[in-house]
Structures are given as structure tokens and as C-alpha cells.
Amino acid sequence: MSLAAAARLSPRRGLGLWLAAGAVAGVGFLLLGWSGLPVGHGFTICAFRRVTGIPCPGCGMTRAMVALARGELVAALHLHPFAPLLLGQAAAWWGALGAALWRQRPFTLPARLLERLLVWQGAAFLALWLGRLATGTLPW
């Protein structure tokens, strides 16, 4: 269901779907911590790394999210420093969507703000990746 379709739902149904989506995401995140996926070095699902042999800008993110789900903040920051920020952004987006549903107003972000967020985050990912690549601190 698209956001536009969700906006046309009754307020009660929209809030119910919002709560259900949050519950599913929360349970999924907790299950990620119990999944048994290794957090250590050597484990990779990154297609870019498998093809090129070079870790991508997001390499370590899956393992960092697993570490966060297990409550291992230091390990998560070592694997990918942006993992807690992305998790926080997802939670903030979910909360803002819920607030918009509660107020019965459409959830919108100004196009300029969204554009800036994407550009700055892309630049930050690229800068972090190049810095870690140059210093040999990428998670292998």
C-alpha cells in the first residue's frame, strides 16, 4: 500500500496500520539480534564486495544492525558508525508518520529538505567509506 493510499484510510484504520507496521519492524529487529548471524569479520552478504573484492560504503551495516539488536553499541559503531543514526532516522520517520496520522494531516517532507538529506547523507557515506578505505579500517 502506498503512502497516498494510506492517507485516504480512516484515522482509526491508519493508526492501526501504523502501529502494526511498527510492531512488525520492532519484532523483526529483535529477531535480527537472535538470528545467529555472525557479527565478526569474514561474514559478508555484500554483492559489491563479492564481485569487486572491495567493501562498499554500506559494508558492515547488516552486522552493525545485528550488533545493535543485541545491544552491542561499541561493536556496531566499529562495524559501521552510521548504523545507530540510520536506526534513529527510521524511528523518527515512523514517529513523524504516526503524529501526522494522529493529527489527521498528510505526512509530507518538503522536497528541498528531502533532497538535502539525501545529498548530505550520500556525501557522508562516501566520505566515511573513502576515509576507511584509505586507512584500512573497513570491516572485513
Of 138 and 113, the one with more pLDDT: 113
Between CA 24 and CA 71 the distance in angstroms is: 19
The percentage of residues in the chain with a pLDDT greater than 90, rounded to a whole number, is: 22
Q: What is the pLDDT of residues 45-85, one digit of tens each?
A: 778 888 888 888 888 888 888 889 989 999 899 889 999 99
Q: What is the pLDDT of residues 88-105, one digit of tens each?
A: 998 988 888 888 888 887
Residue boundaries of the structural domains of the chain: 12-135
Between CA 17 and CA 25 the distance in angstroms is: 12
Between CA 77 and CA 23 the distance in angstroms is: 25
pLDDT of residue 34: 79
What average pLDDT score do residues 29-49 get?
A: 73
Between CA 94 and CA 59 the distance in angstroms is: 25
pLDDT at residue 140 is higher than 80: no
Let me know how long the chain is.
140
